[in-house]
Structure 1
């Protein structure tokens, strides 16, 4: 058997030169088994019917040794075609010598227990894929029998029966055509048949995670998984592979990519701001009890409508005038919507202001108030405070006594004195302005004492 070991090593080295895979999963196939050499009957017979009439007559024509006597290593080269090499050994004790002179007479003799060795390259074409795998093959090789040796051209049929994805029974018959001149054993090699029966093993497929699915077909080659998920796991057993499951550790429906929906509102818990209370998608899964467009989870006034900018609460209206404090220019004084929450000055109020203003008295030719005018100024101040959003112009006027320039300056000073008093007593400066008109806008005759008194006046005008 030392020769068989040499053949096996040679076969492995030769197969290593191939670059294709045995099948889509395993790159190699190795077959071990027994071979039988037909003793040259096929080439001794001149008629086709005689060549194959004793095809299965193992008792009379087959040479077999009771041990593993051949090994084949092969790989696929694409499109169901594989290429490999076979090494075989046998011992020839049955051989049909020269062609018979008497038709049908094929005497079998022992040529001397000659050792037989064959090294053959083989190209196979498989017809089917599956457990039943018939094929044809061609090739060539070199045969040694005793001291004789010759090259041969080979061809034949075979079939594989795959019991599993990797183990099968292989049966093959090969015709070896020799071109030697004679059929003399130990001198020339006669054409002959060689039969093979062995167990085939497909090897070389890689399954990194050990889940029984080859890496090339495994969508998750480094994590053990299930066949129905192309080798990927389904940790939460929800029927969705972890690689496609947005929540791989918690079971959920396919509609939500494997994530649960505790409140049943159609929004996955991971995206639901209120996972235990049903709510619309527009509110991120939270309810809106008061219907103000602000979800309950961020609404500080859940049962009362209010704007989002105030956290779902209504804006305060301290003076109850219908204008929210944030928009009310007079938040502490009831007013009207038209006047931005401030009270509106009626004609009656303006008349009252000017009735007071006309009674403001100054020291002659000065902008200094007479003592009795302070009560009037306090009344004017009180009225202006009731209308904190209103702006006013304080206007000063004189009679015609004196020159025009002097009267203009005096009217300006007196108007400014009233404005300064109001500011000093709590009226915002930006609400007031003052101006003098001298004697240019009389309201009465300057020819009488009473008329002049009327023309010496202060007026209050509303600035709109």
Structure 2
């Protein structure tokens, strides 16, 4: 006992500057605190008080037991189930096999290589261990010449069991056979039982997953996500979740789809109302291609450039005002929304034009014809998109060239008069046809009078040009 305090102090110092018995890569170190029993009887030696191998193996009356912490182990996990272990123990020997002897001191220290079978048993609570190693043992009264003194090495074989209460604590029992080659009677069994603690793994975020296996070592997480968190509990870990603070669906990378329209809320301009993917999740109630949230008239179809509202058609002619040259007067699409003169209107124009008189052999319009021309101008004003053609005709009196020139000049005189009355020149064309288009016989005076005329027709072969005159 006089060396007990020294041994315990040395052991604790060793444990303080070294690390301990490993169970796996996560907890590479372990420390064991045990009570040990030394038995010399079942060692197969032919000596007084000893029996054959394993004879009376469980006969505890042959055991030397020190009822206190008398054995300490320190181990380091190597890998693949192997552990390197240092063990130091003390005891008091007063039983040599079946014989009582004067009390001797017992000290032992050594190394072993142990192999855990736990992994072969699916990492359960039951953990069989086998091992081999060597110790240096001191037995006897070191201050006397007692013949029972023994200092020497032994070759050890070990069988043990760990019973894991948790990932870090186990009840451990083991039996070591220590074979001495120097003094055969010094061979013995040493049994031990106690508690083993494993430690040494680093878990920075405290989530129970060691940093070496933790893909998010600084954030507490879940085992199913290798230590990474799932803050909203939607089954999508935060680092892959586009909406980590809102529970959502895996198909939308963890984002919700509140309105169920197939567009996740983070991409949905109208997350509370079911809509169309093409409209960023917003509806288009009137189907005009303008989303309701941007449509001033969501229940009436209209073009985008009019904010989704139908465009006005003041005159109701089917041509919207923006495209209608005559928005307040119903017209035809062919005439850009403006009305076109009917046959009756053209006939009325020609009734006036047939009364237009010129000075003899001249293109000068007589004053009495101005009233008729003014009426013609008023009618033309009603059709601002219509181009009118002024035709000049003569009878057959005179030469063809003369008649053709005179007809052109008279038609031009009528066109100029109408232009001066406010009809844009772009809406007037004129031409002389001489005597080539008679409407009556030139053989009589009455017929020739009918052939000397000015006619007005519609010129549909030309477009109206914007003009201010």
State TM-score, norm by structure 1: 0.73
CA distance in 1, matches of 2:198, 2:423: 103
Which of 133, 137, 141 is residue 140 of structure 1 equivalent to?
Answer: 133
Pair 1:183 & 2:184 matched? yes
Once the two structures are superposed, the pairs formed by residues 52-71 of structure 1 within 5 Å of their partners are 52-58=54-60, 60-62=62-64, 64=66, 66-67=68-69, 69-71=71-73
Write out aligned runs for 1:46-445 (5 A): 50-58=52-60, 60-62=62-64, 64=66, 66-67=68-69, 69-75=71-77, 77-78=79-80, 81-91=81-91, 93=93, 107=99, 109=101, 113=105, 115-126=107-118, 127-129=120-122, 132-145=125-138, 148-150=151-153, 152=155, 154-177=156-179, 180=181, 182-183=183-184, 190=187, 192-215=188-211, 221-224=217-220, 249=245, 259=256, 261=258, 284=281, 288=285, 297-301=293-297, 305-309=300-304, 310-336=306-332, 341-445=337-441
Q: Secondary structure at the match of 2:339?
A: coil
Alpha-carbon distance between aligned partners in 2 of 1:159 and 1:119, rounded to the nearest angstrom: 18
Listed as ranges, the gaps of 5+ residues in structure 2 are: 1-6, 140-149, 461-469
Q: Deviations over 1:316-374 (max 9, x none)?
A: 12123344323434212123567653324322122222233333334455544333333
* Rounded Cα–Cα distance in structure 2 between residues aligned with 1:299 and 1:368: 62
State whether residues 395 and 459 of structure 1, in contact with CA within 8 Å, keep that contact through their aligned partners in structure 2: yes
Cα distance in 2 between the residues matched to 1:382 and 1:72: 121
Does 2:459 align with 1:463?
A: yes
1:443–1:285 Cα change, 3 Å: closer
Are the aligned partners of 2:131 and 2:157 in contact in 1 as well (CA < 8 Å)? yes
SS of the equivalent of 2:367 reads: coil
Q: In the aligned structure 1, how far is the partner of 2:116 from the partner of 2:222? A: 34
Indicate conservation of the 8 Å contact 2:72/2:89, yes or no: yes
Deviations 1:206-245 (A, max 9, x none): 3333344545666754334577887666666889876677
Q: Which moved more, 1:217-226 or 1:231-240?
A: 231-240
Separation in 2, partners of 1:421, 1:215:
102
RMSD (CA atoms)? 4.5
Shift of 1:148: 4.4
**1:361 aligns to what SS in structure 2?**
coil
Q: Which deviates more from structure 2 when the two are superposed, residues 381-390 or residues 241-250? A: 241-250
Do the aligned partners of residues 106 and 211 (structure 1) sit closer, same or farther apart at CA in structure 2, a change above 3 Å counting?
Answer: closer
Structure 1: runs of 5 or more not aligned: 16-20, 97-104
The alignment covers a number of residue pairs equal to 436
Cα displacement (A) at 1:254: 9.4
* 1:117/1:268 CA distance change after superposition, 3 Å: closer
Higher mean displacement: 352-361 or 221-230: 221-230
Single out whichever of 246-255 and 399-408 deviates more from structure 2.
246-255
Residues 1:87 and 1:319: Cα distance change in structure 2 (over 3 Å): same
1:18 counterpart residue number: none
Flag the 1:287–1:355 CA change in 2: closer, same or farther, 3 A.
closer
Please name the residue that 2:146 is paired with: none
Per mean C-alpha deviation after superposition, the further-off stretch among 382-391 and 139-148 is 139-148
What is aligned with 1:4? 11
